[in-house]
Structure 1
Amino acid sequence: MLDDADRRILRQMQADPGASSAQIAERAGLTSATCWRRIERMQAAGIIRGVRAVIDWHALGYEVEVSLRIILDKSQPRAFEDFADAARKIPEVLEIQTLLGQVDVRIALIARDLAHYHEIYRSRILTLPHVTDIDALMHVARVKYNNTVPL
């Protein structure tokens, strides 16, 4: 589906998401028109879903990151849907993952400090529907983080 030129374009977009299509074309060894057509084709195919700003939440005063491993009451027919609908409404929740295994859901959330985390946990997390158990993991350090895809 992708040829070498498409991969070069994608590598350039990952390396510098703010680059113009002309800059990407030059770096990928293509004409601007060819590069733009290929980018449009990959967008239409859903390969490129968008370009976004990555905001450093530490710079905005959030110092605490927590992963919550949650077990739901699966005897409730809409346990996952009800839980996800309610969890999506918590602004500090950055990610919600459903899992197979002993843990049903993992939530990643941020807070300004421990007092703020405590408030979020008591007033919003503990009130989420169908929760039977929660295990909190406080992040200490991010050893590796990479959103780039090997191309």
Structure 2
Amino acid sequence: MLDDTDRRILRQYQAAPEIAASDLAGRAGVTPTTLSRRLEALRRSGVLRGVRGVIHWPALGYDVEVSLRVTLDKTAPRAFDEFLAAAREVPEVLELQTFLGVVDVRLQVIARDIAHYQQIYRERLLPLPHISDIESLVHIARLKTDEALPL
């Protein structure tokens, strides 16, 4: 699917998505025209889905990050759908993941401090439908964050 040129382009693009196209082309060893054509083909094929801004939440005063592992009451026929729809409405929930196993859903939640998290937990998270068990894991340190693929 990807050839060596595509891999070189993606490697360089992952490393520095903000640089000018001419600089990116030079780093990838292709002409700007080839770069443009290849990036467009990668977008059309769904390999390259876009560029996004990454916000450092603590810089905005959100110093607490919590992962919640939720087990749902699976006796309710629409438990997953109703829980996920309600959880999407909580602004402090940054990420939802579903799993097979004892834990059904993981939520990534941010808060300004522990008191703010406690308020979010009591007022917005505990009332979510169909929860049979919930476990909170407060993040202490992020040791590695890397979305780049080893191309």
User: 2 CA distance for matches of 1:77 and 1:22?
Assistant: 54
The match for 1:123 is 123
User: 2 CA distance for matches of 1:19 and 1:90?
Assistant: 35
The match for 2:55 is 55
Q: Output one character per residue of 1:62-118: Cα deviation in whole Å (capped at 9) or x when no partner.
A: 010100000001111111111111111111111100011110001011000011001
Residue 23 of structure 1 and its aligned partner are, at CA, apart by 1.6
The match for 1:69 is 69
* Structure 2 portions without partners, runs of 5+: none
RMSD (Å) for aligned C-alpha atoms = 0.7
Query: How does the TM-score come out when normalised to structure 2?
Result: 0.98
Identical-pair percentage: 59
Q: Output one character per residue of 1:19-63: Cα deviation in whole Å (capped at 9) or x when no partner.
A: 222221111010101110000000000000000111100100001
Residue 142 of structure 1 and its aligned partner are, at CA, apart by 1.1
1:79 aligns with 2:79: yes
Residue 143 of structure 1 and its aligned partner are, at CA, apart by 1.5
User: 2 CA distance for matches of 1:8 and 1:118?
Assistant: 46
The match for 2:37 is 37
- Tell me how many residue pairs correspond in the alignment: 151
4+ residue runs over 3 A deviation:
none
User: 1 CA distance for matches of 2:12 and 2:90?
Assistant: 35
The match for 2:97 is 97
Residue 9 of structure 1 and its aligned partner are, at CA, apart by 0.7
Letter in 2 for 1:50: G
Query: How does the TM-score come out when normalised to structure 1?
Result: 0.98
* Structure 1 portions without partners, runs of 5+: none
